[in-house]
Structure 1
Amino acid sequence: MEIDYRQRRVRLFDPLAYRYAGTGATVPFSADADLPLLRAQLEVRGRRPIPARLLLDTGASGLCLILTTPYAERHGLGRVAPAIEAPIGTGLVGDLHGTIVRLQELRLGGVKVRSPTTGLGGEYKGFLARTDIDGVIGNSVFEGSRLILDYVGRRAIVEPGPGDGSLCDFDMSGLRLAARGAGLAHIVVDYVIPGSPSAEAGIAVGDELLLIDGRGVAEGNLNDARKALRADGAVHRLVLRRDVDTIRVALKLRRLL
């Protein structure tokens, strides 16, 4: 299977006939319930690299990594600063809570991601309580890249795309957005970080985002909206719907981590 994040295209191949001839970085994996389990190294400033078993979840977006509560506690990651207390994911058991930090680096074979935004489990709930894996790695790590999953060869192949400075960056508006409704066409505010530009502007949970700088968010997708809100110092004009009211705000983005 090939996922081209830049082209927004997924291609399937005959697994027995597939041959890769490119120059991408290869990351071996084992299987966990048919999902790839990758071996990684995490770097925290001032410490030696920490090994991690990360489940690749191509349906996870937003944070680059989410680490389980036992793993975060075992390695004392709660001491990493600065940190933001917030929901770090959603599962069958509802919102999963913890803290959001930046690690120094994520290494997957020859692939290196600097300053990955990382959710640290703060409760023993859902997959955050698991001890057979150390965390989940999501789509944000591969943004702009081509990802090939070779299940027969038990390997992931990453062809990095041209960087634009946004890889694995964190939202700078203070909004956690979610796609809801028919066709997932409605972009709704799911959480507002206290003290963030969005909180200061009075945006509230449940508001529906309609326009960013005059462009309808339904014309793009959720990732487009998130990417627009990750430019330090940028000023964006947002139009939102709250019940029957229309709200217009101007946000000056700033780094929260």
Structure 2
Amino acid sequence: MNEPGGVENIPFELVRNLIVIKLKINNRGPYNFALDTGVGYMLITEPSLIDSLGIESKHTVKIHGLGEGNDFEAYITSPLKIDLNGVVSSNINAAAFTKDHFGLSAYAGRTIHGLLGFEFFSQLAVKINFADNRLVVSVPKDMKYYKRAAKIPISIEDRKPYLTTRVTFADGTIRQSKLVIDLGAGHFISMEHLSDRDKLQPKHIRASLGIGINGPISGYLSRIKSVELGKYEVKNVIAAFPDNSQAPAATPRDGNLGIGLLKKFNVIFDYPHNVLYLKPGSGYKKRDEHDMSGLTYYSIMDDDLVHIVIDKVEPGSAASDAGLKQGDEIEMIDTHAVGNMSLQQIDDLFQSRDGRPFFLLISRGKKYVPIRLTLKRRV
């Protein structure tokens, strides 16, 4: 994107581990986009946006990545003018989906129109302050860099940032691992070689690992001993081990470093100088927790009413023990109506404390069913 005049401050919302910003396209909007360093192209994932903007197609590309579905095609748009709080570019091509393959809006509980990656970061220094949900954006020479921060070399390959670092697995094995730095991935770290499963600690679970470009990602969750990030060593890290082997890519890699780890720090991406700066934030020493309910759920709107629908119940989880089922709708958690809660607030409750009890009121068909759910740490 074009250089800003001086330093720009851009607010963001952290929604289920997505950094959501507002931008305008061709002087229309604003629209909600998630920052995602793991995508090479700007992606328009909400098909209705194509029609409302009258965007023309130039040619098609095949999109592939982790997930259980097949590759699919998107089309490259004509050049777009993107305005992000005064940071403007008039020559951005996006890959536009004719079908919503991600389900980002249902996942986030609000409309998400797309993902913004390389185009935003390529010429700028971008500081991400997770404590006050603020981006600071400037040309590198105007950026106020953190004192005593870890200064980590990165490479920009296939329009994505990579670092190489030491990962220590549960069995003590140490490996230099090349990881794509992926702000759009909600996990802590994902190790993508199937052979890494030999390094799972005894306490591990089958789990839904999220949604990739090609659909749901399943696999295992475990903990690894540590990940080095410059001069910092983050210990006892929750790690994902997807079923799928690494998707075909221009740049071979060992895994994926997600926002779960990154948000322990205040972060500066400096693509022009191939550097990532990390300074420990308020959550640096906090114990990492995974969902303790065993539920995967999403949000749908119907006549201005919010419905929280259970999509999956993990076997052997607290939710399975309590008798919850796919398709159940959560109406209340304790005394709180879920229509007045964000999905992030529900996530926080279900990650809060091993053994914590909840009363859930469930809508199942035409009946209301009371459920007693007691959280159970699984990893």
Decide whether the 8 Å contact of 1:39 with 1:108 is kept in 2: no
Q: Show the counterpart of 1:193.
A: 314
Amino acid at match of 1:54: L
Runs of 5+ unmatched residues, structure 2:
1-125
Higher alpha-carbon deviation: 141-150 or 35-44: 141-150
Q: CA deviation at 1:140?
A: 1.2
Decide whether the 8 Å contact of 2:200 with 2:223 is kept in 1: no
Q: How does 1:74-89 map to 2 (within 5 A)?
A: 75=196, 77=198, 79-89=200-210
Decide whether the 8 Å contact of 1:66 with 1:137 is kept in 2: yes
Q: Distance in 2 between matches of 1:11 and 1:236?
A: 40
Identity of aligned residues (%): 25
Correspondent of 2:156 among 31, 37, 41: 31
Q: Show the counterpart of 1:148.
A: 268
Q: Show the counterpart of 1:47.
A: 172
Correspondent of 2:137 among 4, 8, 12: 12
Matched, 1:3 2:128: yes
Q: CA separation of 1:250/1:164 partners in 2, compared to 1, >3 Å: closer, same or farther?
A: farther
Q: Show the counterpart of 1:138.
A: 258
Q: CA separation of 1:140/1:167 partners in 2, compared to 1, >3 Å: closer, same or farther?
A: farther
Q: Distance in 2 between matches of 1:219 and 1:25?
A: 40
Q: CA deviation at 1:30?
A: 0.9
Matched, 1:173 2:293: yes
Q: Kindly report the root-mean-square deviation, in angstroms, between the aligned alpha carbons of the 2 structures.
A: 2.9
Q: CA separation of 1:113/1:95 partners in 2, compared to 1, >3 Å: closer, same or farther?
A: same
C-alpha distance after superposition, 1:94-145 (max 9, x if no partner): 1122211111112211232222111112234xx5566701111211113353
Q: Distance in 1 between matches of 2:265 and 2:367?
A: 40
Q: CA deviation at 1:20?
A: 0.7
C-alpha distance after superposition, 1:121-173 (max 9, x if no partner): 2234xx55667011112111133532221112222222222348754321111
Q: Show the counterpart of 2:77.
A: none
Matched residue count: 250
Amino acid at match of 1:173: S
Which has more radius of gyration? 2
Q: CA deviation at 1:226?
A: 2.0
Q: CA deviation at 1:194?
A: 0.7
Runs of 5+ unmatched residues, structure 1:
none
C-alpha distance after superposition, 1:167-226 (max 9, x if no partner): 43211111234455599x765433221111111112223334444333455655433322
Q: Aligned to 1:116, what secondary structure does the other structure show?
A: strand
Structure with greater strand share of residues: 2
Q: Show the counterpart of 1:157.
A: 277
Correspondent of 2:359 among 227, 233, 237: 237
Q: Aligned to 2:167, what secondary structure does the other structure show?
A: strand
Q: Distance in 2 between matches of 1:43 and 1:133?
A: 17
Correspondent of 1:66 among 172, 179, 190: 190
Q: CA separation of 1:21/1:85 partners in 2, compared to 1, >3 Å: closer, same or farther?
A: closer
Q: CA deviation at 1:245?
A: 4.3
C-alpha distance after superposition, 1:4-52 (max 9, x if no partner): 2232333322344324143332222111333221222211234242111
With normalisation by structure 2, the TM-score equals: 0.58
